[in-house]
């Protein structure tokens, strides 16, 4: 991810990404666990709370479209 100020980043939650991609939150979490999609983990301890940058979502979609 390019370096930019956090205030400038557009960040999505897992549920927001799922809604945009028309899939489940579980699918998004699986992509995160497999490192196919990158995100910030802002959770404390065992609890995972992800924020996915818009540019990362765009990168993922481009790579997915190009691989078919």
CATH number for position 46: 1.10.1660.10
Strands 40-41 and 11-12: unpaired
Residues 13 and 51: beta-carbon distance below 8 Å: yes
pLDDT of residue 65: 85
27 falls within a domain:
yes
42 falls within a domain:
yes
4 falls within a domain:
no
pLDDT tens per residue, range 24-42: 999 999 999 999 999 999 9
Domain that includes residue 35, residue range: 9-66
Residues 11 and 40: beta-carbon distance below 8 Å: yes
The two tokens of residue 52 are: 């996915």
Please identify which residue in the block is written with the tokens 């927001």: 16
pTM (two decimals): 0.83
24 falls within a domain:
yes
* Residues of the chain scoring pLDDT < 70: 1-6, 68
Q: CA 23 to CA 50: how far, in whole Å?
A: 16
């Amino acid at each position: 991810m390019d370096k930019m100020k956090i205030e400038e980043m557009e960040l999505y939650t897992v549920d927001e990404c799922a809604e945009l991609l028309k899939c489940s939150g579980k699918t998004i979490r699986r992509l995160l666990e497999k490192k196919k999609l990158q995100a910030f983990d802002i959770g404390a301890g065992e609890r995972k709370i992800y924020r996915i940058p818009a540019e990362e979502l765009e990168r993922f979609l481009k790579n997915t479209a190009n691989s078919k």
